[in-house]
Amino acid sequence: MSDPRLLKGQQARKRILKDVKSRVKAIAEKRPMGRLVSISIGGEDDVAIYIRGQERAAQRVGIPFDAQFWPADLSQETCKAKITAMNDDPDVLGIILQRPVPDHINVRSLQSAIHPLKDVEGMNPASIGNIVYDDLTLAPCTAAASVELIKETGLTLKGLEVVIIGHSAIVGKPAAFMLMAEGATVTVCHHMTRSVAAHSRRADVVVVAVGKAHLIGADMVKPGAAVIDIGINQITHKDGRTEIVGDVDTDAVKEVASWVTPVPGGVGPVTVAILMQNAITAFEKQIAAGWLD
């Protein structure tokens, strides 16, 4: 029997993809669908599992998916020129830039080169900046997925006390702005915060995105709280067995919290669904802007 304290992402994923599929169908009846382009620069093995998951989700909703693998020795200028050409290609619905990239590539520069209306990952500075003005339509996928899972609990976001541990530009900070836009009261903790536990113990919701295995234990969580674990860490046991775990000690925390997202199976499935949601939203925006006329 499934543990009701484990806030799994499959139900939210299914609901989001169902909505995306209906929106794709409505558009496809009137005009050809553009394709979603995934760019991997070298390191094909490092991202293969993510690309397969994205491709399966795209197939499920009816969005053409084009996985491109560029040589690792391509120059920054060449990569940027290829992305610029995709910005001008009406057949390209959106662009995904897989990470990691080779050391000589400035990933932020390439993210900035993707036009905001084709930035389905929400990584362009303009996309992130829009969140400050409560435009959440093309938000970073993982941040949006964490907000979606908080809503899945049924908690009312207005006035909710949320503590975010981790202030990265693509997860912690945008999640904070998204939650504030929903009316939550948000505290952001980081490596210079004097007592993270003092903050997390008073929170109705704790969102963790640090990258440290089992950082959050039961003593850091208020009874009845919701805990959203975005961390992905590989640990090696004494017997040589490896395991993927989150930033939260799930087994311990679920004895205190009302909800905790498992790793894997929590935020990850919703993140991919949000990517598809962003893709159809981007295409709708392109149509509204007259790009495809």
Give dist(CA 98, CA 121) in Å, integer.
10
Q: Is residue 202 part of a domain?
A: yes
Residue pair 96/37 in contact by the 8 Å Cβ criterion:
yes
Which run of H or E residues covers position 162? strand 161-165
Find where tokens 């200028």 sit. Answer: 77
104 with 218, same domain: the answer is no
Last residue of a domain, one of 115, 150, 175: 115
Residue pair 61/20 in contact by the 8 Å Cβ criterion:
yes
Rounded to 5 degrees, φ, ψ at 68 are -110, 135
CATH (domain of 155): 3.40.50.720
pLDDT at 43: 73
Q: Is residue 287 part of a domain?
A: no
Strand pairing report for 242-245 and 233-236: antiparallel
SS3 204: coil
Tokens of 217: 């234990």
111 with 148, same domain: the answer is no
Q: End-to-end distance of the chain based on CA atoms, in angstroms?
A: 53
Buried b (16+ CB within 10 A) or exposed e, 150-180: bebbebebeebbbbbbbbbebbbbbbbbbbb
96 with 147, same domain: the answer is no
The CA-atom distances, in angstroms, between 155 and each of 3, 149, 204, 217, 258 are 19, 10, 9, 22, 11
Buried b (16+ CB within 10 A) or exposed e, 72-108: eebebeebbebbeebeeeeebbbbbbbbebbeebeee
Q: Is residue 93 part of a domain?
A: yes
Residue ranges in the chain modelled with pLDDT below 50: none
CATH (domain of 46): 3.40.50.10860
Gyration radius from the chain CA atoms: 19
Residue of 129, 219, 226, 224 lying closest to 184 (CA atoms): 226
Q: Is residue 9 part of a domain?
A: no
Cα 238 off chain centre by = 32
Q: Is residue 94 part of a domain?
A: yes
The CA-atom distances, in angstroms, between 269 and each of 4, 39, 43 are 18, 20, 23
Number of domains within the chain: 2
Q: Is residue 275 part of a domain?
A: no
153 with 107, same domain: the answer is no
161 with 236, same domain: the answer is yes
Give dist(CA 250, CA 23) in Å, integer.
36
- The domain of 77 spans 33-115
Q: Is residue 5 part of a domain?
A: no
